[in-house]
Amino acid sequence: MDTTVFVPLDEGTDPTVGGHAGVAAVRARKLAKTYGRGAAQVRALDAVDVDFEAGRFTAIMGPSGSGKSTLMHLLAGLDSATSGQAFIGRTELTGLGDKELTLLRRDRVGFVFQQFNLLPMFTAEQNIMLPVELAGGTVDGEWFATLTRTLGIEDRLEHRPAEMSGGQQQRVAIARALIARPDVVFADEPTGNLDSRAGAQVLSFLRRSVRELGRTIIMVTHDPAAAAYADRVILLADGRIAGEITDPTPEAVLAGLDALRSLEGPVDGLDGDATSQAGA
Amino acid sequence: MLRLTLAQMRRSIGRLSAAGVAIVIGTAFVAATLLGGNLITRSAFDAISAQYARADLVVSTSATFTPQTVDTIRSTAGVAQASGMVQSWQGLVGGDRTIFQQVIPTTPDPRLMPLVLSKGAWPTGADQIALPPDVATRLSVGVGDTIGLQTHGSDSETQTRRLTVTGLVDDPRNAYGGGGGAAVMDVTALDALQKADGGELTYREITVLLADGASLPSVTAALRDAVPHASVVTPDEHAQAVAQRLSGGQDLFFLIFVLTFAAIALLVAGLVITNTFQVLVAQRTRTLALLRAVGANKRQVGAGVLLEAGILGVVSSLIGVVLGCGLGQLALTIAGHTSAAAFLPHSISVTWAVVVIPLLVGVAVTVLASLVPARVATRVAPLAALRPADGPTLEKGSAGRVRLVLSVLVMVLGFGLLALGAALGTVGGDAQMGLLAGIAGGALSFVGVAVSAVFWMPRVTSWSGRLVGLSGPTARLASANTLRNPRRTAATSTALLIGVTLVAMMSTGAASARTSLTAQLDQQFPIDVAVDALGDANGAADLPANVVTAVNQASGVRAVARPKSASLVVGGIYAAADGSIGLTGDGTVPTPQNQVSTPVVGIDPAQAKAVLNDPSLVKDVEAGSVVVPSFQAYQWHLTDGSRLTLTGPTGPVTLTVVVDDGGHGIGSVLLVDQADLLRADAHPAQSSMWVALAPGDLSAVSAIQDAVGDTGAPVTVQGAAVERASYETVIDTALGIVVGLLGVAVVIALIGVANTLSLSVLERRRESATLRAIGVTRGQLRWMLAVEGMLIAGVGAVLGIVLGLVYGWAGSLAGLGVMGPVVLSVPWRDIVLAAVIALVAGLVASVAPGRSAVRPSPVAALATE
């Protein structure tokens, strides 16, 4: 599409990538993470600066080892950064203790996992309510009804995870992530374990929950087709922001990835993954 | 296959060692028990052989030897010296105590004397004695002091002779430890004493020393010829034979008794093993399926599991044996520093049985316990290798219907038999049959309960979980977790249930026995403690002053009454020549020879009422009347309202008869008001004390008994409290031992709880990480596991307590019913204690699993594999 812009970035660029008018729900400033020591040291994330606006659906893309998962873990307060800062709203995550991080996740962050990670002994309804109950709050019945209706799981509420299909489980997981109205929802390869039809459904629901319910979602994926559902795609390579696509199409995303490859040389894994997903 | 098994074991080493601990404890228990059995046999042997000192031969007979036999032996060729073994008991008096002490004679050769002199000199004269140090202390004498020796003159009156203490003797090899040590007197003096007491001087055994260079076999043969019908053997052979005769039954009883508890502990260990292997098999489904897919057959897969169990069994059992031996040695070493040191050897004696039996039992239990998991392993389909690794799913609780029906049948039959036993014991009055039926029913029903636990235990856990879940989302998570593997939870709770049931049963039985016997004793004995001087033919004697002081000063004494007693002549009757009672109404005038005397007790009614358990017993005692036991009234032709004249040294009193037809009264004496007694006898004996104790405090009983024992006076101490004190000691000791032994099973079961929890934690790594990611704090996650542990342990404990109460009551009814009405009581203290211990243990069991649950970062939840 015409609006699609591919902007290769280098060191000197303005730190706030994008520069859209929206309020940043999540921000990273010179965020870095290294694993190991000495010769074995790996820079998983190298001084990343990025903003994610509230009320938008952003995808983080990149080949395996590009640092996209690490970035997400740091932004979600699941892991601690080696240096730099991460913010959710006005709260700086770096420097918070385990307990504060846990409570922050409970109250302000939602998660959707590749493996769904529902509790097998609880029904769908109990799974959805869990975050609110853990926080000691009461469930907003109207919001619960809206969510389950939007996600199409109203008739599955009494079922346990083992009695549901993968797509249904993931939709329950999305409801669980949204029930507490978190500031931001992180989705990690939400379609990785689903067939393409169920995957497409889940992605539509994610997009609807942004457009119709006003939520903020950050999704990590290596599937260009999935990334195309987002409002904006951040491209990551070698632990750095390598580019960004606004209002992407699958073709634009693929083109962006190709451009990455021509810049950085062939990247193992990306090629096969991208084509197989595109072909599916 | 072996290499694969070893590799898998290495991977699961943590899980296996937790299960192995259960077997280690069980086998250590068995090994320690067997060592204990050895110890009993050996200390008996040591004590017996020690008595022969360094003798070369022991000549013994089933009849007796005379001093002539000793002379015959001495004159036999090759014999250097011989000594007749004498053990006599003598009353020694020192301070205000009288001690009956074993006394042995000096020997003609020091090599035949088992005791050694620690101080002073051996006795040589007729009025000398050497004492064991503790006896000297109790008699408050030292070397050079004198003590009294009670002798009986020709008129059988007790006389006291003075003996000088010449020395103190030690008993290094514990030859006489079992009999409270031995004092030594000169052989001539002791022989003389023996003759004065019993006339003949005889021996059961004669110890022999060989002359230098004499050959043992030839002297043995010569002695066999010289002393016909006698056994001539070495001291060791003799001791062996005697020890076997003495303790053969004893150590067998000990072994059977203790090994029963070891068996229970091993059964519980087996449950823990089954649980562990079931989880291991479940976790290895993919590996097992892969094996099947590449060509392993079912048998090989099952054999792999059994092989693993076998290896675990061998290793754990060996550790158990070493641990058991180590504990045994430790116990001996510690005991070596106590007063029991003399009775015990310095080191344990490890026989082949101590090693082999626990090893075999341990391996057998481990392998048997893994049979079911092995069968589950064979059912893994090769296809399972191709399926993606699923997250943990709910186990399908599909235990067989056959199992349900069978276990219910067994339960119904068992509880029926139990009820029958209780009925036989109470209504039927047949304690033996009642107990037999009760035990059979109890065992049967318990098997049914344990086997069917998988059906109902999850339900009970669910109800309790729902209750617990009301307290918040963390607890709700915990209770949901306990239900995801109903079988595993049930097996874990059952392991604890077994131990707790038995402990609660014993404790309930003991409590019921205590209350029932107390109730009966209070009826049987009107007084808590009655202290009576026995008196002699001349009539009642006063209680010694020091006894009176001791009783009055003993703590826990609530009230004391001092009845006075006198022997008074009963008017109106005479004893006929044939012993029957005749009435003077027939014209006979009683002479001092045929008049009838009877003990009459004079009480102060108010004082007596204060000490009697049932004050109504003396309600009829008042001035001017005499209470006559009904059988006496019948014999003497007295009825209510008759007038009876009693005559004493001071004069006659005539009183109105009240017949006591209660059947109990206070002994078989006539009761009168103290003032009336004084009119007949102005100086009555004060031979009794009636003592009431503060409720629940029996400490005064032993204080009174000690005081009486110290005086050596012929005084009896009896009554409800005395009986209660003696059987409560027995009950408490027995209960303590049994509960201690059952404790091992409970400890193993608690290890099982910890094991189950840590296995669950391993299975739920992803889930724990998810919970952490969505906002469960570390503390909440730990608390979740703690609640889970407490739920599993608590359900097992509470059900065990309920079952134990039922069994304890049924057992009491069956066994005690024949003695009178059984009071069923609830041992609240023990029950609360058991429940608290279970909850705390469940909490503690969750500590280590909790730590490993919170360790991984929540990032793990997002990892793909």
pLDDT band at B41 (very low <50, low <70, confident <90, very high): confident
Question: Is position B424 within any domain?
Answer: no
Total residues found in chain A within this entry = 280
Q: Which residue of B has its CA nearest to A76?
A: B773
∠ CA B115-B348-B260, nearest 5°, is 115
Do residues A258 and A224 touch, judged by C-beta distance below 8 A? no
Among residues B531, B551, B556, B554, which one has the least CA distance to residue B717?
A: B531
Question: Is position B362 within any domain?
Answer: no
Average confidence (pLDDT) over B96-105: 81
pLDDT for res B537: 47
CB pairs below 8 Å between A and B: how many? 88
Do residues B691 and B703 touch, judged by C-beta distance below 8 A? no
pLDDT for res B364: 94
Question: Is position B813 within any domain?
Answer: no
Asked if the C-beta of A243 comes within 8 angstroms of chain B's C-beta atoms, the answer is: no
Give the amino acid at B422: A
Q: Residue B469 phi/psi, 5° resolution?
A: -60, -20
pLDDT at B413 over 90: yes
- Count of the separate structural domains present in chain B: 2
Write out chain A residues lying below 8 Å of B476, CB-based: 133
User: What digits encode the pLDDT tens for the residues B499-544?
Assistant: 899 889 888 888 888 888 887 777 777 788 888 877 654 556 778 7
Domain boundaries, position B648: 526-720
Among residues B206, B186, B203, which one has the least CA distance to residue B103?
A: B186
| Higher-scoring residue by pLDDT: A184, B343 | A184
Asked if the C-beta of A197 comes within 8 angstroms of chain B's C-beta atoms, the answer is: no
> Which domains, and CATH codes, for chain A?
55-82+93-279 (3.40.50.300)
Strands of A232-237's sheet in order across: A109-112, A184-188, A217-221, A57-61, A232-237, A240-246
* Complete DSSP assignment for B282-294: HHTHHHHHHHHHT
Average confidence (pLDDT) over A3-10: 43
pLDDT for res A19: 40
Asked if the C-beta of B856 comes within 8 angstroms of chain A's C-beta atoms, the answer is: no
Tokens of B25: 């404890």
Average confidence (pLDDT) over B474-498: 84
Asked if the C-beta of A96 comes within 8 angstroms of chain B's C-beta atoms, the answer is: no
pLDDT > 90: percent of chain B: 10
Question: Is position B615 within any domain?
Answer: yes
Of B205, B233, B261, the position where a domain reaches its end is B233
pLDDT for res A10: 40
Q: Which residue of B has its CA nearest to A135?
A: B775
Write out chain B residues lying below 8 Å of A120, CB-based: 391-394, 484, 767
| Higher-scoring residue by pLDDT: B650, B820 | B650
User: What digits encode the pLDDT tens for the residues A187-238?
Assistant: 988 988 888 888 998 999 899 889 988 899 999 998 888 999 999 999 998 8
Of B668, B700, B720, the position where a domain reaches its end is B720
Asked if the C-beta of A105 comes within 8 angstroms of chain B's C-beta atoms, the answer is: yes
pLDDT for res B666: 60
pLDDT at A245 over 60: yes
pLDDT at B314 over 90: yes
Asked if the C-beta of A117 comes within 8 angstroms of chain B's C-beta atoms, the answer is: yes
pLDDT at B479 over 90: no
Tokens of B418: 């139990």
pLDDT at B390 over 50: no
User: Which of A35, A109, A119 should we substitute to test contact with B (largest number of B Cβ atoms within 10 Å)?
Assistant: A119
> Given CA atoms A239, A244, A248, A251 in this order, what sign does their dihedral have?
negative
Among residues A52, A44, A51, A176, which one has the least CA distance to residue A105?
A: A176
Alpha-carbon distances of B742 from A242, B496, B498, B734, B736, rounded to whole Å: 69, 11, 9, 12, 10
User: Which of B462, B770, B780, B784 should we substitute to test contact with A (largest number of A Cβ atoms within 10 Å)?
Assistant: B770
Asked if the C-beta of B473 comes within 8 angstroms of chain A's C-beta atoms, the answer is: yes
pLDDT at A184 over 90: yes
Contact residues, A window 38-77, toward B, CB-based 8 Å cutoff: 69, 73, 76
Question: Is position B388 within any domain?
Answer: no
pLDDT for res A18: 40
Give the closest of A69, A117, A122 to B766, CB-based: A117
Say which range, A251-265, B38-52, B123-137, B355-369, has the weakest mean pLDDT.
A251-265
C-beta atoms of B774 and A135 within 8 A: no
Element (H, E) at A51: strand A42-53
User: Average pLDDT over chain B, rounded to whole?
Assistant: 82
Give the closest of B393, B472, B862 to A120, CB-based: B393
Question: Is position B358 within any domain?
Answer: no
Placement of tokens 């006389």 in the chain: B159
Asked if the C-beta of B860 comes within 8 angstroms of chain A's C-beta atoms, the answer is: no
Asked if the C-beta of B382 comes within 8 angstroms of chain A's C-beta atoms, the answer is: no
C-beta atoms of A99 and B481 within 8 A: no
> Torsion-angle region of residue B575: left (phi > 0), alpha (psi -120 to 50) or beta?
beta
Asked if the C-beta of A247 comes within 8 angstroms of chain B's C-beta atoms, the answer is: no
Asked if the C-beta of A273 comes within 8 angstroms of chain B's C-beta atoms, the answer is: no
| Beta-strand runs (E) in B278-353 | none
pLDDT at A6 over 50: no
Asked if the C-beta of A114 comes within 8 angstroms of chain B's C-beta atoms, the answer is: yes
pLDDT for res B215: 86
∠ CA B848-B854-B860, nearest 5°, is 130
Beta bridge partners of B653: B646
Asked if the C-beta of B121 comes within 8 angstroms of chain A's C-beta atoms, the answer is: no
Q: Which residue of B has its CA nearest to A177?
A: B774
C-beta atoms of A134 and B393 within 8 A: no
Tokens of B797: 């404990």
User: What digits encode the pLDDT tens for the residues B132-179?
Assistant: 988 888 888 888 888 888 876 555 566 778 889 999 998 877 788 766
Distance CA A92, CA A76 (A): 11
* Complete DSSP assignment for A118-163: --TTS-HHHHHHHHHHHTT----HHHHHHHHHHHT-GGGTT--GGG
> Given CA atoms A232, A235, A239, A241 in this order, what sign does their dihedral have?
negative
User: What digits encode the pLDDT tens for the residues A115-156?
Assistant: 888 888 889 999 999 888 888 888 888 989 988 988 889 998
pLDDT for res A234: 92
C-beta atoms of A119 and B477 within 8 A: yes
pLDDT for res B387: 58
Among residues A199, A119, A128, A197, which one has the least CA distance to residue A162?
A: A119
Among residues B39, B72, B37, B73, which one has the least CA distance to residue B55?
A: B73
Asked if the C-beta of B484 comes within 8 angstroms of chain A's C-beta atoms, the answer is: yes
Exposure letters B107-140 (e unless 16+ CB within 10 A, then b) = bbeeebbbbebebbebbeeeebbbbbeebbebbe
Distance CA B603, CA B620 (A): 12
Of B233, B255, B283, the position where a domain reaches its end is B233
Average confidence (pLDDT) over B242-270: 76
Question: Is position B98 within any domain?
Answer: yes
Question: Is position B129 within any domain?
Answer: yes
Distance from CA of B318 to the nearest CA of A (A): 41
Tokens of B728: 């409560």
Alpha helices (H) in B764-854, listed in sequence order: 765-773, 778-816, 828-845, 847-854
Radius of gyration of chain B (CA): 37
Rounded to two decimals, the ipTM of the complex is 0.80
C-beta atoms of B862 and A188 within 8 A: yes
Asked if the C-beta of B780 comes within 8 angstroms of chain A's C-beta atoms, the answer is: yes
Give the amino acid at A154: E
Q: Which residue of B has its CA nearest to A134?
A: B473
Q: What's the count of helices (H) and strands (E) in chain A, helices before strands?
A: 9, 10
pLDDT for res A232: 93
Tokens of B631: 């059988």
- Using a 10 angstrom Cβ sphere, with 0-12 exposed, 13-18 middle and 19 or more buried, the burial of residue B522 is middle
pLDDT at B604 over 50: yes
> Torsion-angle region of residue B235: left (phi > 0), alpha (psi -120 to 50) or beta?
alpha
Do residues B492 and B792 touch, judged by C-beta distance below 8 A? yes
Q: Which residue of A has its CA nearest to B780?
A: A134
User: Which of B489, B764, B767, B774 should we substitute to test contact with A (largest number of A Cβ atoms within 10 Å)?
Assistant: B774
Question: Maximum distance among all alpha carbons in chain A?
Answer: 56
Distance CA B167, CA B115 (A): 12
pLDDT for res A20: 42
C-beta atoms of A131 and B774 within 8 A: yes
Q: What is the 3-state secondary structure (H, E, C) of B490-516?
A: HHHHHHHHHHHHHHHHHHHHHHHHHHH
Among residues B755, B211, B737, B119, which one has the least CA distance to residue B489?
A: B755
pLDDT at B862 over 70: no
- Which CATH number covers residue B682? 2.40.40.20
Exposure letters B615-653 (e unless 16+ CB within 10 A, then b) = eebbebbeeebbbbbeebbeebebeeebebebbbeeeeb
pLDDT band at A11 (very low <50, low <70, confident <90, very high): very low
